Each structure stands twice: as C-alpha cells, then as structure tokens.
Amino acid sequence: MDAGGSRYGSGSPEDIFKDFKARRTGILKALTTDVEKFFQECDPEKDNLCLYGRPDGNWQVDLPAEEVPPELPEPALGINFARDGMKRNDWLALVAVHSDAWLLSVSFYFGARSGFDKESRKKLFIMINELPTIYELMAGVGTDHKKIHKERTSNGSSKVNRSAPKAGNTTKGPPRAPPPPPTHEEEEDEEDMDRGEAGEGEEEEGEEEGQAGSTLCGACGDNYGTDEFWICCDACERWFHGKCVRITPARAEHIKHYKCPGCSTKRARA
C-alpha cells in the first residue's frame, strides 16, 4: 500500500489542510467522476480492500498496510464486501461517511506528530469545517443516513446467525436458527406420539446441543453462549464471536465472503 507518504513533524495547519484537501479531492473523484472504475476495483472476491485518498489529488483501492502499527491511520477495511449487497448509491454514501472520518483522523494525526497546541488544532478544524463533507456532497445535506442504513440492513441477506453454531460445520453459510418453541397444543400432540420416536428425537437433539456447546471461538477460545452474535470465516471455516473480530450484526448483513483477521493477514502477506 502506498497512500502517498506522510509529511508530519514540521507541518503547519495550512500545510496539513492542503494535504487534507488533496486527499479529499482524490476520494471525491473515486466516488463521482471515476465511480465506474472504482466500482470495478472493489471486487467482493478480493481480500479486505481500503479506499485511500492521495496527497497528489488521486485515489487508490488497495490492501491495508502490512506494518503494525501502520504509518497512517487506516481507512475503513473491507469496503468491497458490501458492494453487491446493497444499492450502489447507498454503498457509495457509506464509503463517503467512512472516508470523511479517515480524512479527519489523518489530518489530526499529522497535527499530533507536528506538536500542535490547542490553537493550532482549532485553526485546522475551522479550515476543515468550512468545507462540506464528502457524504454531504454525495447524499445531499439533510439526508437521513439512519433511514438509509435501516433500509439497507432490512433488505440485505444475512451471512451470520445468533443461534448456536454446530461443531464440524463444513458449509459456507451458518446453520439455520433453531425453530420457535412449540405451543401448548403442539406439546400435547407430541405427547400422543409413539414413545420410541420421541425418544429417538430427544437423542438427536441432545447430540446437536452437545455439538453446539463444544464450539469454541477462534479468537478468544470461549464456548458459545446464548444470545451471542457469531460469524463464520469462509476461508478457515472457524466461528468467532462478533465482538472478538469487531463485526457487528448490521455490518455482517453486507459481507458476502467473510475472512477472519488471521486469514486476511495471511493472504495480504502471501
């Protein structure tokens, strides 16, 4: 990854603001005039990709930096995964929101490395705040982003499950959620069933519960717990607590092919 290098250490608020505007211009190009090229480069079949604005006014889609910690704050990871899981305009607006956050973090990172005091930070923020955000330019001032997000998550297909994952699951998708508990009438009907069949069913349920209880999180090693959010890696097929890999249910709705941090790192360094 080459985001254009950094110039911290002796930058003034004006210098860093100039860098901010150039990177902002590059990202705007990706989301507007170069949107078709940007769309094609964000292939969901690739690894976690990021959108970088460069200090020369251009943009690039690339893998995250290999060094830890990176030289600059990282943009949103895996923007390509949501590309085909939502409307294009909503996806571009989502990338715009994350890009605005990244531009601010880069500028104030440079400011911190330059030893900015309160007045210098305030001056930099005022200059940045005079410009409309990328999201405002993409979606229009006053657009209800929460509404967009709600509609997007309700229309997307889920790759995750809150039910207990089964040990030894070899499918790419997660197991289906357990059925709702039977009603009182259904319970009475079950009591009238043949005792042998009922006993066999209980044995099978016991095996499934034993498998679910034996599943361990690939990150922390803890067992599955009820009402916990889990996600399965498509590469190594291990299950993870969402909180352990920093994946929320809303974000997972738009991940077409999830790769855990370990598999993503291996691919990036291969």
pLDDT tens digit string along 117-163? 999 999 999 999 999 999 998 876 434 444 444 433 443 333 444 34
pLDDT digits (tens, 9 = 90+) for 37-77: 999 999 999 989 999 999 999 999 999 988 888 888 999 99
Beta strands in the chain (DSSP E): 50-53, 59-62, 230-232, 239-241
Diameter of the chain measured on Cα atoms? 82
Domains of the chain: 13-139 (no CATH), 215-269 (3.30.40.10)
Say whether pLDDT at 188 is over 70: no
CB 95 within 8 A of CB 31: yes
Q: Which of 176, 166, 257 is nearest to 216 (CA)?
A: 166
pLDDT digits (tens, 9 = 90+) for 16-37: 999 999 999 999 999 999 999 9
